[in-house]
Amino acid sequence: MNGHASQRGEPTSVGIIANPAAGKDVRRLVALASTFDNQEKVRIVRRVLAALAALGIERVWYLRDSFGIVERAAEGMTQRLDIRPVPIPCTFTATDSERAAAWLAEQRVACLVTLGGDGTNRVVARSCRDLPLVPIATGTNNVFPFLVDGTIAGVAAGLLASGRLPDCLQRWPRLEVWIDGTLADIALIDVAVSRERFLGARAIWDPTSIEQVIVARVLPGVIGLAAIAAAVCPRQDHGGATVKLGPGGTTALAPLAPGLLVPVPVRDWEPLSPDHAVPIETIPCTLALDGERELRIERAEQVLVRLSAAGPLVLDPRLALQEAARSGALLIPPLAL
């Protein structure tokens, strides 16, 4: 088998980062988003661990969090699994996820299972380099991660880690924010340019202050600011796009949050190809990355948002199981029964 993990340093080692704060932003108050409480995250991780153990994975590295999601999930497990915390000092902030992803990439674990939303995966993607991600949706908009049961995600991660999965990893694009020639941050879904001067509530859902939205991929059926691009940009290749908001064009009815459909005036839009950059002309401004206000820019000579094809490696659990069925990776030899 051409398993990706067979070429890595620890072929039976998998990482887990579960964000206890994911899915708890202000959009719960203004929309009808689903709630993934921490007890449910514990149950999801327990199913991931059970699947990894069934696939013969020997070791799981996990990031400690303020709720103890993985520790609670591991309580009472009868399967043999060496579960260890990532050896980094924890501040219980987003910085932990970034540092843990970098450490796991250095250790060359087979893949990293994440529990969170778009913001969680953006932080992980900053430092995970070529460490494949298996993202499980427990956030708000969940454009990047997959809404999939932990069992299926665990099976996919286990097949990859044990070298039984044909290579079906996908390289997804990312958006890079360059300020005066320096890479300031990245986004996996969209970058929104806002006139608001203060970060305030980090989550953004009101389009009235937004002048422009740049998306990494035009995908139908998404929720959030990327839904504006999906409504007005009929791209069959799912490439990127930049959308300018305001009167004088058309109006798109877009689901900016779960259960929240908003008419959004759109002046113009253009397709965006890899390695092309969009200049940001509104300065000062605030940039929202993947739906959350992150960067306040008061002064700059040049601000660019560049679409890069060199985003994170992603394992789609359903695609992984489809490929496993084709290759016979889930079949048990008669003598093993």
- pLDDT for position 28: 46
Q: Which residues pair with 292 in a beta bridge?
A: 203, 289
Report the candidate in 68, 52, 63, 70 with the shortest Cα–Cα distance to residue 128: 63
- pLDDT for position 199: 56
pLDDT digits (tens, 9 = 90+) for 6-57: 444 444 899 999 999 986 554 444 445 566 789 999 999 999 999 999 999 9
Taken in order 234, 238, 242, 244, the sign of the CA dihedral is positive
The span from the CA of 48 to the CA of 61, in Å, is 13
Phi and psi, residue 82, nearest 5°: -85, 105
Report the candidate in 57, 91, 93, 53 with the shortest Cα–Cα distance to residue 73: 53
CATH number at residue 122: 3.40.50.10330
Radius of gyration of the chain (CA): 20
Q: Which residues pair with 174 in a beta bridge?
A: 308
Number of domains in the chain: 2
Q: Which of 13-27, 89-103, 229-243, 305-319 has the lowest mean pLDDT?
A: 13-27
Q: Give the confidence band of 275 by pLDDT, cuts at 50, 70, 90.
A: very high
List the structure tokens of 272.
Answer: 């965006």
pLDDT digits (tens, 9 = 90+) for 163-175: 999 889 999 999 9
Both 160 and 178 in one domain: the answer is: no
Both 182 and 317 in one domain: the answer is: no
Omega of the bond prior to 234 within 30 degrees of 0, cis?
no
Both 240 and 304 in one domain: the answer is: yes
CA atoms within 13 A on the CB side of 164: 21
pLDDT, averaged across the chain: 90
Both 104 and 8 in one domain: the answer is: yes
Torsion angle in degrees (nearest 10) through CA of 74, 77, 146, 209: -20
Both 163 and 235 in one domain: the answer is: no
CATH number at residue 192: 2.60.200
Both 127 and 74 in one domain: the answer is: yes
Q: Which of 32-41, 152-161, 211-220, 261-270 has the lowest mean pLDDT?
A: 32-41
Q: Which residues pair with 255 in a beta bridge?
A: 261
Count of beta carbons in the 10 Å neighbourhood of residue 184 = 16
Both 70 and 203 in one domain: the answer is: no
Both 268 and 222 in one domain: the answer is: yes
Letter for the amino acid at 243?
V
List the structure tokens of 148.
Answer: 């999939």
- pLDDT for position 195: 84
Q: Give the confidence band of 2 by pLDDT, cuts at 50, 70, 90.
A: very low
Both 214 and 249 in one domain: the answer is: yes
Both 47 and 182 in one domain: the answer is: no
For the chain, the first-to-last Cα distance in angstroms comes to 21
At 154, is the secondary structure helix, strand, or coil? Answer: helix
| Lateral strand order in the sheet of 190-194 | 260-272, 240-257, 210-215, 190-194, 285-289, 292-297
Report the candidate in 117, 110, 107, 57 with the shortest Cα–Cα distance to residue 82: 57
Both 182 and 138 in one domain: the answer is: no
Report the candidate in 144, 294, 123, 269 with the shortest Cα–Cα distance to residue 217: 144
Residue span of the structural domain in which 31 resides: 4-172+312-336
Both 188 and 299 in one domain: the answer is: yes
